[in-house]
Amino acid sequence: MSSSSSSISLIGNSQDGNSLQQQQDNNGPLIVDGYVISYHLAQNYVIDDNNIGTEDWQSITISSSSTSSFTLRNLRCGSEYVTRIEAFNEMGSGRPSEMIRFSTLGSPPIPPDKYANHFILSNITFVIINLDLWSDGGCPITGYSIKYRTRRHYHRSLMGSSNNNKNGGWITLSTHLMPEKEKLIIRDLMPGTWHDLIIAAQNDAGKRESEYSFATLTETGATVEPLHAFESRMATNTGTAVTIVGALFDDPMIFIPAICTVIVLIVVISTSIFLYVMRMRQEALQIANDDT
């Protein structure tokens, strides 16, 4: 039956299944007993009709007496697949059809708007994150990763502060928080401080990351200055400090004389203290000798 081939077309899809339809080429008196439908995740897969292996392929067999349409089930949500079909009878299998691509419905998770009400609820030393406001994109969320930092770490990094650790001040709260967790509490925060927050949500269709900013209340329960005012003030302070430090370290004509001046001042002060102490000791000895 090597001269017979079939074709396949997509007629419908869902989150975990796709409906396909096959059509047998007109090959005269050849009798078809059934069909083998093979499919494979398309991710990192290169279609090559001249080199079709069986590794990692899944397949189903249907009878020719059944309907010409069929459904592949239990597929991964929001994912792309490749599929092919070949007919067979008691003499063997025909030529495989050309492979086609199809996708199940669904997309990576969709984050809530950065200005959405009630997504981040602030208190003095903690905040509540309402993770249930993330949309799953049609595919169930499988986990979250969450990290945060105080906004000051960002400005310290601009100055190259030694207090800024290698990961930019980020604190990893979780690398795979289970989706059943609808609310998350971040504790032990500094009062009256702006923070950065990055949340990434994962499902079968992919991963999506979103960044937020929030501020804790002051110790009296008041709100802090707006973020744009805080950024402007910190940028001014950072720029001044960077200018001074940069002028000292980047220009040898300034740096070397400054170091020499400091050394001279230390020597002069040390010498003055030494001479003063010696004079006071001599005067004390002189007084003692006069009394005797």
9, 20 Cβ separation under 8 angstroms:
yes
User: Distance between CA 192 and CA 152 in Å, rounded?
Assistant: 12
172, 44 Cβ separation under 8 angstroms:
no
pTM higher than 0.85: no
How many of the other CB atoms lie within 10 Å of CB of 206?
15
Q: Which long-range contacts (CB under 8 A, 24 or more apart) does 236-241 make?
A: 237/155, 238/155, 238/158, 238/159, 241/159
Give 41-66 pLDDT, tens digit per residue. 987 555 555 445 555 788 888 887 66
The dotted CATH code for 120-244 is 2.60.40.10
Give 222-267 pLDDT, tens digit per residue. 999 888 887 777 777 655 555 455 545 545 556 677 788 889 999 9
For residues 170 and 157, the model is more confident at: 170
Please choose, from the candidates 98, 101, 103, the residue with its C-alpha nearest in 3D space to the C-alpha of residue 7: 98
Give 175-229 pLDDT, tens digit per residue. 889 988 889 999 999 999 999 999 999 999 999 999 999 999 999 999 998 888 8
- Domain locations in the chain? 6-103, 120-244
User: Distance between CA 59 and CA 95 in Å, rounded?
Assistant: 16
Asked whether the domain spanning 120-244 has the same topology as the one spanning 6-103, the reply is yes
6-103 topology per CATH: Immunoglobulin-like (2.60.40)
User: Distance between CA 65 and CA 26 in Å, rounded?
Assistant: 17
DSSP, res 82: E
